Amino acid sequence: MFVEKNQAGRAIIGAFFVALALGLSGCGSTPKEDPNSQAALDKLYADVKDDLNSGSYERAIKTLEKIEGRAAGTTMGQQATLDLAWAYHKTGERAQAVTTLDRFIKLNPSSPAMDYALYMKGIVNFNEDLGLFGRLANQDVAERDQQASREAMLAFRQLVEQFPESKYASDAQTRLDFITNTLAAYEVHVARYYFNRKAYVAAANRAQSAVAEFQYAPSVEEALYIMSESYDQLGLTQLRDDARRVLDKNFPSSIYGTNGAARKKPWWQLW
């Protein structure tokens, strides 16, 4: 009888020490950090800033994608989206950068960083097509895609109109003027291209488009002249006279005017 009680006692004691050991083991381990905690996100973002500053954009992109998902709806999430767009831009992924910025603009219409998002969208597209006019001579002008330049123009225009006091507004206006004048010059270049190939309807339409869309650009002067000459070739005398009248009124000293020098030399030698 004593033996049985002694054995039972040893079993109870053994079980107690096993439980105690397990408890101590649990107390000694480090709890796993919640990846969505603020501390974890702060650490990730600190690593991202280091990667961005050192030019490790590919690694930064992967981390920013994690932060953007985990911190959705927060200020950090918004900042991560903007940083992600910048990282895409720096790696030459224009489409990804624009898509990311469009997502930010759509989801955060009242964000204090909206002016920056618009500015960045303009910059991304502006840099994509910065050399458009310088490359015209090497391309069939009828095949050029001006989407990047037009998207940059719209972004800068929205920034200037909605946030005139923004610290980015002045630079955006300068770039907007450049893009507007460049696109107008491009339209005139295309109109001249068609005129030289005796495609007078296409020339007149393209020149008219330049006048309507970019009425304050310097190239409008030549656009009006192309319109008048194209209408003359088509026998549309009333439209020709109207175009010349507008040209003479708005550009009284123009070499393309009624008494201008362009009548005495090939008009395309303006350049």
CA–CA gap between residue 225 and residue 246 (Å, rounded): 10
| Residue 40 confidence class, pLDDT cut points 50, 70, 90 | confident
* The pLDDT of residue 227 is above 90: yes
The SS3 call for residue 163 is: coil
Mean pLDDT computed over 184-209? 95
Contact 41, 73 (CB under 8 A): no
- Residue 270's pLDDT is 42
Give the model confidence (pLDDT) of 95-110 as tens digits. 999 999 999 999 999 9
For the chain, what is the mean pLDDT?
Answer: 82
d(CA 155, CA 121): 6
Lowest pLDDT segment from 2-16, 30-44, 203-217, 254-268: 2-16
Token pair of 129 as six digits: 């097509």
Tell me the DSSP string of 69-125.
HHTTTSHHHHHHHHHHHHHHHHTT-HHHHHHHHHHHHHH-TT-TTHHHHHHHHHHHH
- Per-residue pLDDT averaged across 193-221, rounded? 95
Mean pLDDT of 177-196: 93
Is 90 exceeded by the pLDDT of residue 202? yes
Q: Is the pLDDT of residue 10 over 80?
A: no
User: Would you state the pLDDT for residue 32?
Assistant: 61
Give the residue-averaged pLDDT of 176-189: 92
Q: Is 40-108 a domain of CATH 1.25.40?
A: yes
Q: How confident is the model at residue 7 (pLDDT cuts 50, 70, 90)?
A: low
Residue type, 95: A
pLDDT, residue 138, reads 52
The residue-averaged pLDDT of 144-173 equals 92
Domain positions in the chain: 40-108
Residue 216 has pLDDT above 70, yes or no: yes
**The tokens of 200 are what?**
């007078």
